[in-house]
Structure 1
Amino acid sequence: MKINFIKITTCLMAIAFSAFGQTHKNTLNFNEEAGSPKATLSNINWIQGHWQGNAFGGITEEIWTPPLGNSMMCAFKLVVEHQIKFYEITTITEEEGTLMLRLKHFHQDLKGWEEKNVTQDFRLVKVTENRVYFEGFTFEKISNNEINMYVVINDGEGQQNETRFNYKRVLKNSMNN
């Protein structure tokens, strides 16, 4: 009886994960047949604000604008030992009744990593009250002053690993210099 329960539970978990194409704990793959769900920026406006965290041996900072013109915009930077390592510009836009996340990376001198007309695109997979899942990129609201971002990153050797970025809201009088 116990073995049958384990088999059934394992099968149900496999079905649930495959429905959204989940290959990592907190991120989902895009399902071409299902497409993106309907969503607007009002579903995710809790992302807006000034956020700081620690990752890659340094301080990470993201500033997300409020929705305007059917988009939200983010500027990101990584600072290690008082030196900029790289920047990102990210947008989330309302397109055809759903959301699309796009980003570009830049070296500290603002020379782009990607080709001039190429962006990293992440299609919307699922939205819940406290999470928004783009393909391989998830935002999670912990509280009004804390969020996690989970990103699937290629390690350069063909392995994809899910990386968690924990951010705290930067309050006006608590900025790190």
Structure 2
Amino acid sequence: MKKLFLLSLFILNGASLFSQEVKTLKSDEKPGTGKIEDLDWIPGYWEGPGLGGECEEVWLPAKDGQMMGTFRFWNEGKLLFSEFFHLIQDGESLTLKLKHFSGDLSAWEDKDEWVEFRLVEIGENILYLDGLTMERIGDTMNVYVNLADGGQTQIEKFAYTKKDF
């Protein structure tokens, strides 16, 4: 139900389609190989538009094989949802695991569940996860996420600028 609400929110707020490539893995396909140390361009405080409102992401530097971060989405001065995430070294690969929370901190996923994005490949200042791409260009970072509902897929762009705390 919350996924349907979120998709409706995207459409009502004029979410746009973007041509940036978002790669996916087939269910039987092995994830790509990579090291968390190769992603030292991600940590920081990032702010910008997305989902028809304002978004923020904060990424901490890698420690003990993982980067931790948080995301929040504001629209018309109201916090609609947030995320808590870990980008973890998973053997020779990487996996991004995240949980969503409503503005009142009620969880979208059950206690032992999370949304997971497996590594497809890493390039210079670009990370392709299954359904999510992060690309850094100077002090900007674009994040593209595949949103799917009822067989329809669209790509949502988050256009971040690096900010000071």
**TM-score in same-fold range (> 0.5):** yes
Q: What is the rounded CA distance, in whole Å, between the counterparts of 1:51 and 1:113 in structure 2? A: 24
Letter in 2 for 1:167: Y
2:129 aligned with 1:134: yes
2:160 aligned with 1:167: yes
Does the CA-based 8 Å contact 1:60-1:79 persist in structure 2? Answer: yes
Q: What is the rounded CA distance, in whole Å, between the counterparts of 2:129 and 2:112 in structure 1? A: 21
Q: What is the rounded CA distance, in whole Å, between the counterparts of 2:108 and 2:28 in structure 1? A: 31
Instruction: Quote the RMSD (CA, aligned, Å).
Output: 1.6
Does the CA-based 8 Å contact 2:33-2:119 persist in structure 1? Answer: no
Aligned length, in residue pairs: 147
Cα distance, 1:34 vs structure 2: 5.1
Which moved further from structure 2: 156-165 or 90-99?
Answer: 156-165
Tell me the residue number matched to 2:143: 149
Task: Name the structure where strand makes up a greater proportion of residues.
Answer: 2
Tell me the residue number matched to 2:71: 76
Cα distance, 1:56 vs structure 2: 2.3
- Partner secondary structure for residue 135 of structure 2: strand
Q: What is the rounded CA distance, in whole Å, between the counterparts of 1:146 and 1:50 in structure 2? A: 11
- Partner secondary structure for residue 121 of structure 1: strand
After superposition, residues 18-37 of structure 1 pair within 5 angstroms as 25-31=20-26, 35-37=30-32
Q: What is the rounded CA distance, in whole Å, between the counterparts of 1:118 and 1:158 in structure 2? A: 23
Tell me the residue number matched to 1:65: 60
TM-score by length of 1: 0.78
TM-score by length of 2: 0.83
Cα distance, 1:25 vs structure 2: 4.2
Tell me the residue number matched to 1:114: 109
* 1:107-164 Cα deviation digits (max 9, x unpaired): 0111111122111111100111121100000101111x1110010012x443111111
Does the CA-based 8 Å contact 1:31-1:125 persist in structure 2? Answer: no
Which protein, 1 or 2, shows the higher relative CO under an 8 Å CA cutoff with sep ≥ 6? 2
Q: What is the rounded CA distance, in whole Å, between the counterparts of 1:104 and 1:43 in structure 2? A: 24
Q: What is the rounded CA distance, in whole Å, between the counterparts of 2:128 and 2:120 in structure 1? A: 5
Q: Share of identical aligned residues, percent?
A: 31
Tell me the residue number matched to 1:86: 81
Tell me the residue number matched to 2:48: 53
Letter in 1 for 2:161: K
Cα distance, 1:31 vs structure 2: 4.1
